[in-house]
Amino acid sequence: MATRILLSEDEIPRQWYNLAADLPTPLQPPLGPDGKPVSPEMLEPIFPHALIEQEVSSKRWIDIPEEIRQYLARWRPTPLHRAYGLEKALGTPARIYYKNESVSPAGSHKPNTAIAQAYYNKKEGVKRLTTETGAGQWGSALAFSCALVGLECKVFMVRISFDQKPYRKVMMQTWGAECVASPSPDTKAGRDFLAKDPDTPGSLAIAISEAVEAAVTDPKHETKYSLGSVLNHVLLHQTVIGLETKKQLEKAGEKKADVVIGCVGGGSNFAGFAFPFVYDKIAGAQIEIIPVEPTSCPTLTKGPFVYDIGDASGMTPLLAMYSLGHNFIPAPIHAGGLRYHGMAPLVSQATVEGLLAPRAIPQLECFESALLFARTEGIIVAPETSHAIASTIQEAKRAKEEGKEKVIVFNLSGHGLLDLKGYQSYMAGELTDYVLPEEIIRKNLEAIKDFPKPSLAKTGKW
Amino acid sequence: MATRILLSEDEIPRQWYNLAADLPTPLQPPLGPDGKPVSPEMLEPIFPHALIEQEVSSKRWIDIPEEIRQYLARWRPTPLHRAYGLEKALGTPARIYYKNESVSPAGSHKPNTAIAQAYYNKKEGVKRLTTETGAGQWGSALAFSCALVGLECKVFMVRISFDQKPYRKVMMQTWGAECVASPSPDTKAGRDFLAKDPDTPGSLAIAISEAVEAAVTDPKHETKYSLGSVLNHVLLHQTVIGLETKKQLEKAGEKKADVVIGCVGGGSNFAGFAFPFVYDKIAGAQIEIIPVEPTSCPTLTKGPFVYDIGDASGMTPLLAMYSLGHNFIPAPIHAGGLRYHGMAPLVSQATVEGLLAPRAIPQLECFESALLFARTEGIIVAPETSHAIASTIQEAKRAKEEGKEKVIVFNLSGHGLLDLKGYQSYMAGELTDYVLPEEIIRKNLEAIKDFPKPSLAKTGKW
């Protein structure tokens, strides 16, 4: 009755899985301001060649350099846990498993790509990376990775999180990174937004504008930009999560997963965990794959599939994705990592294709679920992760009602030790639910009504 | 070039190691207020039988119940890391390893005994545990363990830490425990101390008084007390750390450790890590074993070996130990877990015997070392652990000067993600060093000058 299913260092995957190779319809290309597809060359001021190559690759399997595997071996393979305690508390016939990405030194799945990005940049002579961070998980992960690989790092942190989570900044500084609140006076984009609204809580989109600008305007041309989610290469690097999980389920004697669940903000932890299962689903397996988002930022469940920019001021190309509009200013919920206006193109297109069954859950149910999880499984999860747990509990209860022995697997994307304020507010009864009103979405979408539209025929197979 | 040396679940030790069986001179007994040895029966209002039996046992190996091994398997065996990054930064010929106890869900080594204590109490029908906590690591660990095992839990937290670390309290509450600042109005001891000094920062000794009182005065007799360090049975439970480490060093191809280092407050992480090596030393191996303490609480390096009470008001027996006097009010350094006036009798007696080579290090050197460690090894450690790192760096530099290929092993007792305020203050240049003046020690010791004296002849062998 092993609680954890472990793999050896040798079992860290040797290749990443690229869903772009298997999507029933080809991925809609990113577009430039002129409406024409962005060429790989246009990305060169921002990203190193190796990452651009991965971004546009349609190869199914992409080799992981041995040096990256060595870095990952500092905490990978991560354990897969059987949730006996939670199962017992719910009295469910379902067998619940969770992949524990919280064991990385930065506390989440984010270093899986941060290490890879730092590695490729370093290899191509880059000296410094800039990035944005919402809740701080990504900024911490990149600071950690830059320290190990040997790069400088500057993080633009969404102001509301910067103020709510002062210790995230300390964490990044401890790893040697610089961290400023966004919008900041350090960039033109930041100064413009501050001029419009000096008290803005900021947004991930604004912070992205700043970080991209800071990279491309480096007079020494030694700086590149690094993104923690959304893009194809980022999702690619995260697939070690799902690939390990499948191996571990096999070791646990499970023939297949019936329900696969991950929380979804920009899409990276979800994709990394779920895409190897989407691969099985495309091949014919019966699997329900659920991305879970907050009702306050219901990108996949309420947004349309459109072309929109990835930031707030057009520093990025147009991406074909579900979007609430790039002017979306999210409510200050505690799951700061799930407040992005858009969604990874790969996750978006898999949703259009009917391969995914997205769901939105309000924050009180999420915190209630996280509390039950802490008291039965012993791990205090990040508010983002609590969305995956809430959905898991819904599914486990459904399995009980149906009397079915389902196998439910979710991704525990990060721990909540830097997010205890959320738990404190929840236990003090200070939190409320928030559902983003449809009229706000409609209003935000006005700004993109003249953008090109993606052309994509659903295959209607799933 | 594996960075981590891992063990399988099956390799979790099946027996704890009890140093009391091997100490060259028999352990000095705890004494009652009358100066006579305390009988096991006298401990019954406080502890369950199984733990009392372990407390007084002189058996070398004590079986670990399978159920406890199952609980430990939620995070054990913990990894042993080779510190390639730190070695490179120091240019040392030493091979540095660290045992990573920070991977437990509570973030430190403390659950190793918390789980065992909760288990034995539950088995004997106890419904509720009380305890004290300094920095909060122990209170968190007991709250975590009580949640898993199914017990209520009340934690008296030293006021200075309660105020400095509000999120530790939230962590305990998330796991369902009650946490109050000590001294508290909830006990007679607490009320007395508050009457004397309403603004007292509190001390571990005061908090112990409160927790013991709260247990023994439960009118329903369903409450017992739980201690996170100092006592023999607590140290016993921690020996899984050192036992695993020895197996891992063997797997790494190391014939022996030359230097073994742990930070020391009450003594539990140090003992758990080091005692299995002390066993080898008694058997003739050449090993330098270093407990490291802060210069602001130099119990082993400046205190005398005496009989003193373990708390502040005499709720506990007299213990033969190094002590700064039970009235000692520590300076508010950040390594809150290293501020206890006394020292575990087993660690004390091993020191008297010359088996250990204690060392005190000031906090600036410790934080500087922790920063170097974070930037080379990627892990942000607890301020307590930073003492072990500072000593490791001293030893690695010495190995470089001497041109010796030593094997240095230290215990990474916990992560610092709930202690980032200390890092913040350090990086802002706000911290200073503090050496406890000898006259304060002399003055504190006045209070115990009439206590019985331990009779112990050094064997002079080490």
- What residue ranges do the domains of chain A occupy? 63-107+237-448
Which pLDDT score, from 0 to 100, does residue A1 have? 60
Question: A376: which 2 tokens?
Answer: 């039965």
Which pLDDT score, from 0 to 100, does residue B36 have? 94
pLDDT higher than threshold 70 for residue A185: yes
Q: What topology does CATH give the domain A63-107+237-448?
A: Rossmann fold (3.40.50)
Among B9, B73, B105, select the one facing A379 at the smallest CB separation: B105
Q: Model confidence over A270-314: pLDDT tens digits?
A: 999 999 999 999 999 999 999 999 999 999 999 999 999 998 888
CA distance A402 to chain B (A): 28
Question: B345: which 2 tokens?
Answer: 């009798």
Confidence of residue B126 (pLDDT cuts 50, 70, 90): very high
Please report residues of A whose CB lies closer than 8 A to that of B173: 423-424, 427
A204-208, A212-216, B329-333: least confident range: B329-333
Q: Mutation test of the interface with chain B: which of A74, A386, A431, choosing the one with the most B Cβ atoms within 10 A?
A: A74
DSSP B319: E
pLDDT higher than threshold 70 for residue B457: no
Distance separating alpha carbons of residues A121 and A118, to the nearest angstrom: 5
Contact A170 B1 (CB under 8 A): no
A5-9, A162-166, B359-363: least confident range: A162-166
Report the relative pairing of strands A152-158 and A288-294 from DSSP bridges: unpaired
Please report residues of B whose CB lies closer than 8 A to that of A174: 371, 374-375, 380, 420, 423, 427
Distance separating alpha carbons of residues A399 and A402, to the nearest angstrom: 5
Distance separating alpha carbons of residues A153 and A48, to the nearest angstrom: 16
Q: What is the pTM of this model?
A: 0.96
Confidence of residue B204 (pLDDT cuts 50, 70, 90): confident
Closest residue in A to B81 (Cα–Cα):
A74
DSSP secondary structure letters along B173-198: HHTT-EEEEES-TTSHHHHHHHHH-T
CA distance A242 to chain B (A): 21
Dihedral, CA of residue A439, residue A444, residue A446 and residue A448, to nearest 10:
-150
ipTM: 0.95
Please report residues of B whose CB lies closer than 8 A to that of A100: none
Distances (CA, A) of B390 to A119, A227, A329, B401, B422: 29, 35, 46, 17, 16
Give the sign of the dihedral formed by CA B117, CA B122, CA B123, CA B126.
positive
Distances (CA, A) of A255 to A17, A270, A407, B9, B405: 21, 22, 9, 23, 50
DSSP H or E run through A309: strand A305-309
CA distance A407 to chain B (A): 20
Contact A174 B371 (CB under 8 A): yes
pLDDT higher than threshold 90 for residue A442: yes
CA distance B220 to chain A (A): 25
Please report residues of B whose CB lies closer than 8 A to that of A374: 147, 174-175
Rg of chain A in Å (alpha carbons): 20
Contact B417 A4 (CB under 8 A): no
pLDDT higher than threshold 90 for residue B380: yes
Closest residue in B to A103 (Cα–Cα):
B103
Nearest CA among B441, B451, B184, B180 for reference residue B299: B441
Helical spans, DSSP H, in B197-321: 204-216, 232-238, 240-251, 268-282, 299-302
Contact B167 A378 (CB under 8 A): no
DSSP H or E run through A336: none
Please report residues of B whose CB lies closer than 8 A to that of A83: none
Which pLDDT score, from 0 to 100, does residue B337 have? 80
Q: What are phi and psi of A392, to 5 degrees?
A: -60, -45
Q: What are phi and psi of A254, to 5 degrees?
A: -90, 130
Distance separating alpha carbons of residues A209 and B317, to the nearest angstrom: 65
Contact A374 B103 (CB under 8 A): no
Which pLDDT score, from 0 to 100, does residue B12 have? 98
Confidence of residue A261 (pLDDT cuts 50, 70, 90): very high
Please report residues of B whose CB lies closer than 8 A to that of A414: none
Q: Model confidence over A64-82: pLDDT tens digits?
A: 999 999 999 999 999 999 9
Q: Model confidence over B127-168: pLDDT tens digits?
A: 999 999 988 999 999 999 999 999 999 999 999 889 988 899
Q: Are A315 and A33 in contact (CB under 8 A)?
A: no
Distances (CA, A) of A3 to A84, A412, B76, B108: 7, 15, 11, 20
Q: How far, rounded to the nearest angstrom, does the alpha carbon of residue A400 sit from its chain's CA centroid?
A: 30
Q: Are A222 and A151 in contact (CB under 8 A)?
A: no
Nearest CA among A264, A268, A419 for reference residue A334: A419
Distance separating alpha carbons of residues A286 and A272, to the nearest angstrom: 19
Q: Are A251 and A217 in contact (CB under 8 A)?
A: no
pLDDT higher than threshold 80 for residue A334: no
**Among residues of chain B, what percentage have pLDDT more than 70?**
98
Which pLDDT score, from 0 to 100, does residue A338 have? 87
DSSP B107: S
Which pLDDT score, from 0 to 100, does residue A330 have? 77
Dihedral, CA of residue A436, residue A438, residue A443 and residue A448, to nearest 10:
90
Give the sign of the dihedral formed by CA B301, CA B299, CA B297, CA B112.
positive
Which pLDDT score, from 0 to 100, does residue B335 have? 78
Distance separating alpha carbons of residues B424 and B158, to the nearest angstrom: 22
Which pLDDT score, from 0 to 100, does residue A117 have? 98
CB-defined contacts A:B, below 8 A: 111
Residues of B with a Cβ under 8 Å from any A Cβ are 1-4, 6, 8-9, 70, 73-74, 81, 85, 103, 105, 107, 144, 147-148, 166-167, 170-171, 173-176, 371, 374-376, 378-380, 417-418, 420-421, 423-424, 427
Q: Mutation test of the interface with chain B: which of A170, A172, A430, choosing the one with the most B Cβ atoms within 10 A?
A: A170
Contact A175 B105 (CB under 8 A): no
Closest residue in A to B8 (Cα–Cα):
A6
Question: A12: which 2 tokens?
Answer: 């860290």
Contact A421 B374 (CB under 8 A): no
Contact A423 B174 (CB under 8 A): yes
Closest residue in B to A75 (Cα–Cα):
B4
Distance separating alpha carbons of residues B268 and B272, to the nearest angstrom: 6
Dihedral, CA of residue A297, residue A303, residue A308 and residue A313, to nearest 10:
-30
Mean pLDDT, chain B, integer: 95
Contact B70 A1 (CB under 8 A): yes
Q: Model confidence over B31-90: pLDDT tens digits?
A: 998 899 999 999 999 999 999 999 999 999 999 999 999 999 999 999 999 999 999 999
How many residues does this entry show for chain A?
Answer: 462
pLDDT higher than threshold 70 for residue A20: yes
Confidence of residue A33 (pLDDT cuts 50, 70, 90): confident
Q: Are A455 and A352 in contact (CB under 8 A)?
A: no
Question: A100: which 2 tokens?
Answer: 């524990």
Q: Model confidence over B242-272: pLDDT tens digits?
A: 999 999 999 999 999 999 999 999 999 999 9
Please report residues of B whose CB lies closer than 8 A to that of A375: 147, 174-176
Please report residues of A whose CB lies closer than 8 A to that of B73: 2-4
Closest residue in B to A141 (Cα–Cα):
B378
Instruction: Average the pLDDT over A360-383 and give the result.
Output: 98
Residues of A with a Cβ under 8 Å from any B Cβ are 1-4, 6, 8-9, 70, 73-74, 81, 85, 103, 105, 107, 144, 147-148, 166-167, 170-171, 173-176, 371, 374-376, 378-380, 417-418, 420-421, 423-424, 427
pLDDT higher than threshold 70 for residue A316: yes
Report the relative pairing of strands B80-82 and B95-100 from DSSP bridges: antiparallel
Q: What are phi and psi of B152, to 5 degrees?
A: -75, 160
Where are the extended beta strands (E) located within B228-358?
259-263, 288-294, 305-309, 318-322
Mean pLDDT, chain A, integer: 95
Contact B380 A176 (CB under 8 A): no
Distance separating alpha carbons of residues A211 and A234, to the nearest angstrom: 17
Residue carrying structure tokens 């525990």: A412
CA distance A162 to chain B (A): 15
Strand order in the sheet with A152-158: A178-182, A152-158, A128-133, A223-225
Cis peptide, bond prior to residue B317, ω within 30 of zero:
no
CA distance A72 to chain B (A): 10
Closest residue in B to A419 (Cα–Cα):
B167
Please report residues of A whose CB lies closer than 8 A to that of B1: 70
Confidence of residue B460 (pLDDT cuts 50, 70, 90): low
Please report residues of A whose CB lies closer than 8 A to that of B376: 147-148
